[in-house]
Chain A
Amino acid sequence: MDRRSFIRKMIIAAAAVSCPAAFSPLAASRAEPSPAPDLAVVRGPSPERIVASAVDALGGMRRFVSPGDIVVVKPNMGWDRAPEFGANTHPAVVAALVGLAVEAGAKRVKVFDHTVNDPRRCYRQSGVAAAAEAAGAEVSFVDKRKFKSVRLDGEVLKEWPLYEDILEADKIINVPVAKTHGLSTLTLALKNWMGVMGGGRWRIHQRIHESLVDVARKVKPTLTVLDAVRILTANGPQGGRLEDVKVLDTVIAGTDQVAVDSYGATLFGLRGRDLGYVRIGHETGLGNMNLESLDIRKITL
C-alpha cells in the first residue's frame, strides 16, 4: 500500500468510525451487531436475493469493497452452455454481485473469463456477459497480451502467466459454480483460478491440487461466493444434460476460499478433505476446511 492510498483509507476508516450509529445503514438494519460468520449459506428461490442476503450476513459489500476500488468479479463462464445446464455461473448471481459492488462505490467492476470453448459463444450463451453488463460491469474478452508471468514460488508452480486485470485489481470476488470434474472430483472456488491462467495451463493437471493452491495463494479473493443455484452432478465440468443438474437454490459465501470449497463438497455428499486441493489448502494454511470449527450461518428466504 502506498502512502496516498494509506491516507485515503485512514480517512475513510475514521469517517466510518465517527459516523453516528443512527446514520449507519448497517447498524440501522440490525438490532444488535453480531460478529460476521465465517460462512453464509443462503437458500431461496431468487438468485439475486440469496446473494444479497449472503453478502449482508457477512457484513455487507462495504466490508469488501471500498469506494473507488477496481473490482474483478470472476465467474466461471468457460463453456458454451445455456444457464440451465449448470456449467457456468448463474448470470443472476454474477449480476447481483456486480450490482452490490457498484453500489458499494467500486470505480470499475470487471468481469471476464479465460474460456475453454469459443469466448464469443461462452460469453453470449452463458448469459453472463449480458447480465453483468446490465448490472454495470465492464465485460471484456481475454486479451492474450495481458497475461504477465508472475512469481508464485509455490509447491509446484514457481512462475506462471496470470491475467493482468486480476493482478492489478484492488478487490477480487470469486464467483464459481459447483460441479463435478473428472480429475479433481469437483470444481469449486479454487479450480476457478484456472480461468485467470495463461500459458500451457492444461499442464497443471499433472499436479492439479498443488497447482491450484499455488495460484490461489497469489490471487487472494476478498470474497468468495459459490453458486449452487444449480449444481452439475455428473458429466462436468461441461455437462449438457438436464438430468445431471440438481437445483439447490443456494449460495455459499465467505472470505476463506478453502472453507467455501469444503462446504461445497458437502453438497455432493463429500467432505472437504476428500478434495486434494482443499486438504492441501488447509494443511498449508491457505484456509480452514474444518467445518465444525467454523461459524456457519444458514438462512432460508
Chain B
Amino acid sequence: MRMTSLRWFVQGAFLLLFLFLFLQTESKGEDTLGYPVRFFLDFDPLVFLSTLLSARVLVPGFLLSLLLVVLTIFLGRVFCGWVCPLGTIHNLTGILNRRKRPVLLPGARRWKYLVLLFLLSSSLFTAQVTGFLDPLCLLIRSLTLFLYPLFQNGLEAVFRAAAEAPVSFLAAPAEAFYTLFQRFLFAFREPHFYQAVFTGLFFGLIVGLNLLERRFWCKYLCPLGALLGLLSRKAVLKRSVGEGCTDCGRCQKACQGAAIGGDPRETIPSECLVCFDCDDLCPVGAVRFGFRGGEKGQALHLGRRAVLLSLFSGALTVPFLRVSPQSRSGLFPGKLIRPPGALDEKDFLAHCVRCGECMKVCLTNGLQPTFLEAGLEGLWTPVLVPSVGYCEYRCTLCGQVCPTGAIRPLKREDRKHVKIGTAFIDPGRCLPYAFGIPCLVCEEVCPTEVKSIWFETVRVIGREGREEPVKRPHVDPALCVGCGICEHYCPVRGEPAIRVVSTGESRSKENRLLL
C-alpha cells in the first residue's frame, strides 16, 4: 500500500472517531456519558500550555498532551498530517482548489509562530484567548454551535416538508429516514444556539482559505501547528532526497505544509506534516522518509521585531479585553449565570477555552455561548439561558466534559449545594399577584428536596367585591439553587414572571445575597 493511501485511511479513521465522540457528547439518561468525549482535547498540548500560563494549573488531561509532545519530538508533525480532524477537513476541502502554486511567499509560514507567541503572551498575562484559534477548540465549537444545528434542523425541515408534501408517496420514506437519523445522527433535542452565525462565519472563513491555498490554515495560521512545529525541529523521522532528483518541482507544489523551499532537496522539518505526498509523487523515486537523528535543527528566523510585536500585542490585548465594566470586581451581570461547578469568574475566564463541549452536552440546550454579557474577554463562554433551557438539578455532565476544569466535575452529593443563582418573582407579572389567578407551576417544578418555593394563602377581593383565597408563591433564597426550571416553565411567556439572576451564586465570594 502506498503511504498516502494509508495516511488517508488513518486520517479518515481519526475524523470518524472525532465525529463519533462528538455525537456521544450527549446523555442517555445516565449520570455519566460512558465515552471519553474530550479525548482529542486531552491530547492538545496548546490547551495544556496556555492553561498552564493563564490559570497556572495542569489541565486534567495533561499527561496525554505530553504524550503528543514526545511523539512530535520524535516523529514531527504527524498529528497535523495524520490525525488532526480540522487538518483532514482542510485536506478534503483543498481538493476543490486546483491552483498549483502557493499564493503566499514562503515567509508567511512565520505567521503562525507569531500567532502562537501572541496567544501565549496573552495567556501569560492571564487572558485565555487560545481557544479562539486552537484548531480542536475551534472545530468542536463550530460543530456544536453551527454545523450540527444546521445539519439537524436543516434535515428535519426537509423531512417535514416531504411528510407534508401534496404527494403522499414521500411521507413513508421521509419518516423512515427521519427515524434512522434520529436514532443514529441527530441530537435528542434539536440544538439551537445564539452566536451560531458568527462562529459559523469564522469557521467558514478558515475553511474557505483552502480555496486560496491548500491547507492555508495549517501552513500559515494554526497555533497548534506552530507549537508542534517548534517541537519537531529535531525530529528523527525525516524527509530526504536522493541522487536521482531532476528538479522537476512537483514536490514543492504538492507539499501540504510549507516544508520545501527553493531547493527541492531541502526540507524544513518544522513545516513538514509527514504526509508522504512528495514521496508518492516523485517521478524518479528520489524522495524518502526515514529515521535519522543527530542532525542539528534549523534555526527559526522570525525576526526580532515581529516577535516583540507579537509578545507586546498579546500582552496589550489583555487590558483591551478587559476594558468593559464587566471586568471590574464587584460588578455581577445578572444574566451571567454560569454552569454548576464553574469557577469564580476571573478564574473561570482564565480556564475556559470555549471549546463548546459543555454546550454540546447540556441536556436542555440551556447552556449558550455568551456574546458580550461577560465582556469581550468572555466571548463564547457558556452561560445558562433559562428561557431556552434550565439546568437539570441532578445532571453534572458539563463539568465532566470540560477539558480545562473551568467547570469542575461535581459529585452528585456536592451538586445539590452548588447555587448558580437565585430566582426572583416579578409580582407585576405573576398570575396570583397581578391578577389573583391560581398558578404555582414554579412550585410544582422546583427540584430542591425541600421546595425552594412556598406559598402564602392570601384572601384577595376581586372586581365584583368577592373575597377569594389565592396562593402566592415566594422564593426561599436560602434553598433556591438558581436552576431556572421555574423560569423555563413559567406560563407567563415573553418575560417570565419568575426569573433567575446570578445573585447568590456560590462560586463567588462577593456576589452573595444572604448574610
Q: Which residues of A contact B (CB under 8 A)?
A: 80, 116-125, 141, 181-183, 200, 202-203, 205-208, 235, 237-241
- Could you show 23 A-B contacts with beta carbons less than 8 Å apart? A80-B394, A116-B445, A118-B27, A118-B29, A118-B364, A120-B27, A120-B29, A121-B27, A121-B29, A121-B363, A121-B395, A182-B444, A182-B455, A183-B439, A200-B491, A202-B441, A202-B490, A235-B449, A235-B451, A237-B444, A238-B446, A238-B447, A241-B449
**Which of A80, A202, A205, A239 meets B449, CB within 8 Å?**
A239
Check if A206 sits within 8 Å of B455, measured CB to CB: no
Please indicate the chain A residues that have their CB under 8 angstroms from the CB of B493 in the complex: 200
Closest A residue by C-beta to B447: A238
Report Cα–Cα, A206/B455, bound state, in Å. Answer: 15
Check if B451 sits within 8 Å of A182, measured CB to CB: yes
Check if B395 sits within 8 Å of A183, measured CB to CB: no
Task: Say yes or no: is B324 at the interface (Cβ < 8 Å to chain A).
Answer: no
Give the secondary structure class of B's interface: loop
Closest A residue by C-beta to B490: A202
Min CB gap A142→B, angstroms? 12
Report Cα–Cα, A116/B447, bound state, in Å. Answer: 11
Q: How many A-B residue pairs have CB under 8 A?
A: 83
Please indicate the chain A residues that have their CB under 8 angstroms from the CB of B111 in the complex: none
Assess A120 versus B438: contact at CB under 8 Å? Given A182-B444, A241-B449.
Answer: no
Min CB gap B129→A, angstroms? 33
Closest A residue by C-beta to B437: A206
**Which of B27, B28, B443, B446 meets A183, CB within 8 Å?**
B443
Task: Say yes or no: is B322 at the interface (Cβ < 8 Å to chain A).
Answer: no
Please indicate the chain B residues that have their CB under 8 angstroms from the CB of A206 in the complex: 431, 437-439, 491
Check if A118 sits within 8 Å of B491, measured CB to CB: no
Closest A residue by C-beta to B451: A235
Min CB gap A277→B, angstroms? 13
In the complex, besides A121-B29, A124-B29, A202-B441, 6 extra interface pairs with C-beta distance below 8 angstroms are A120-B28, A120-B29, A122-B29, A182-B455, A200-B493, A239-B449
Task: Say yes or no: is B392 at the interface (Cβ < 8 Å to chain A).
Answer: yes
Which 9 A/B pairs are nearest by Cβ-Cβ distance?
A: A124-B29, A240-B449, A120-B29, A183-B440, A202-B491, A182-B443, A118-B363, A241-B449, A202-B441
Task: Say yes or no: is B489 at the interface (Cβ < 8 Å to chain A).
Answer: yes
Of the listed residues A80, A122, A202, A206, the one surrounded by the most CB atoms of chain B closer than 10 A to its CB is A202
Closest A residue by C-beta to B389: A118
Please indicate the chain B residues that have their CB under 8 angstroms from the CB of A240 in the complex: 447-449
Check if A118 sits within 8 Å of B448, measured CB to CB: no
Please indicate the chain A residues that have their CB under 8 angstroms from the CB of B192 in the complex: none
Min CB gap B35→A, angstroms? 15
Check if B491 sits within 8 Å of A121, measured CB to CB: no
Closest B residue by C-beta to A144: B190
Please indicate the chain A residues that have their CB under 8 angstroms from the CB of B443 in the complex: 182-183
Check if B491 sits within 8 Å of A80, measured CB to CB: no
Check if B444 sits within 8 Å of A80, measured CB to CB: no
Check if A123 sits within 8 Å of B29, measured CB to CB: yes
Please indicate the chain A residues that have their CB under 8 angstroms from the CB of B489 in the complex: 116, 202
Count of chain B residues with a beta carbon within 8 Å of a chain A beta carbon: 32
Task: Say yes or no: is B471 at the interface (Cβ < 8 Å to chain A).
Answer: yes
Check if A205 sits within 8 Å of B445, measured CB to CB: no
**Which of A119, A205, A235 meets B441, CB within 8 Å?**
A205
Within B9-63, the residues touching A (CB, 8 Å) are: 27-30
Report Cα–Cα, A208/B438, bound state, in Å. Answer: 9
Closest B residue by C-beta to A207: B438
Min CB gap A148→B, angstroms? 14
Min CB gap B501→A, angstroms? 22
**Which of B392, B439, B440 meets A121, CB within 8 Å?**
B392
Report Cα–Cα, A208/B188, bound state, in Å. Answer: 31
Min CB gap A61→B, angstroms? 30
Min CB gap A138→B, angstroms? 14
Please indicate the chain A residues that have their CB under 8 angstroms from the CB of B30 in the complex: 124
Report Cα–Cα, A51/B431, bound state, in Å. Answer: 41
Please indicate the chain A residues that have their CB under 8 angstroms from the CB of B451 in the complex: 182, 235
Min CB gap B359→A, angstroms? 15
Please indicate the chain B residues that have their CB under 8 angstroms from the CB of A122 in the complex: 29
Task: Say yes or no: is B193 at the interface (Cβ < 8 Å to chain A).
Answer: no
Check if A80 sits within 8 Å of B393, measured CB to CB: yes
Report Cα–Cα, A182/B30, bound state, in Å. Answer: 29
Task: Say yes or no: is B450 at the interface (Cβ < 8 Å to chain A).
Answer: yes
Please indicate the chain B residues that have their CB under 8 angstroms from the CB of A123 in the complex: 29
Min CB gap A128→B, angstroms? 11
**Which of A203, A235, A238 meets B491, CB within 8 Å?**
A203
Check if A118 sits within 8 Å of B440, measured CB to CB: no
Closest A residue by C-beta to B493: A200
Within B354-397, the residues touching A (CB, 8 Å) are: 363-364, 392-395
Report Cα–Cα, A207/B363, bound state, in Å. Answer: 31
Report Cα–Cα, A182/B447, bound state, in Å. Answer: 13
Please indicate the chain B residues that have their CB under 8 angstroms from the CB of A205 in the complex: 438-441, 444, 491
Min CB gap B181→A, angstroms? 13
Min CB gap A76→B, angstroms? 13
Of the listed residues B437, B438, B444, B490, the one surrounded by the most CB atoms of chain A closer than 10 A to its CB is B444
Please indicate the chain A residues that have their CB under 8 angstroms from the CB of B444 in the complex: 116, 181-183, 205, 237-238
Please indicate the chain A residues that have their CB under 8 angstroms from the CB of B392 in the complex: 80, 117-118, 121
Closest A residue by C-beta to B450: A235
Closest A residue by C-beta to B26: A120
Assess A238 versus B363: contact at CB under 8 Å? Given A120-B29, A205-B439.
Answer: no
Assess A183 versus B29: contact at CB under 8 Å? Given A121-B394, A240-B449.
Answer: no
**Which of A124, A203, A238 meets B28, CB within 8 Å?**
A124
Check if A238 sits within 8 Å of B27, measured CB to CB: no
Please indicate the chain A residues that have their CB under 8 angstroms from the CB of B447 in the complex: 80, 117, 238, 240
**Which of B395, B431, B449 meets A118, CB within 8 Å?**
B395
Min CB gap B461→A, angstroms? 19
Report Cα–Cα, A203/B435, bound state, in Å. Answer: 14
Please indicate the chain B residues that have their CB under 8 angstroms from the CB of A200 in the complex: 491, 493
Report Cα–Cα, A223/B491, bound state, in Å. Answer: 32
Check if B471 sits within 8 Å of A182, measured CB to CB: yes
Please indicate the chain B residues that have their CB under 8 angstroms from the CB of A118 in the complex: 27, 29, 363-364, 392, 395
Closest B residue by C-beta to A201: B491
Within B444-474, the residues touching A (CB, 8 Å) are: 444-451, 455, 471
Min CB gap A201→B, angstroms? 9
Report Cα–Cα, A241/B447, bound state, in Å. Answer: 11
Closest B residue by C-beta to A121: B29
Closest A residue by C-beta to B364: A118
Of the listed residues A116, A182, A237, A241, the one surrounded by the most CB atoms of chain B closer than 10 A to its CB is A182
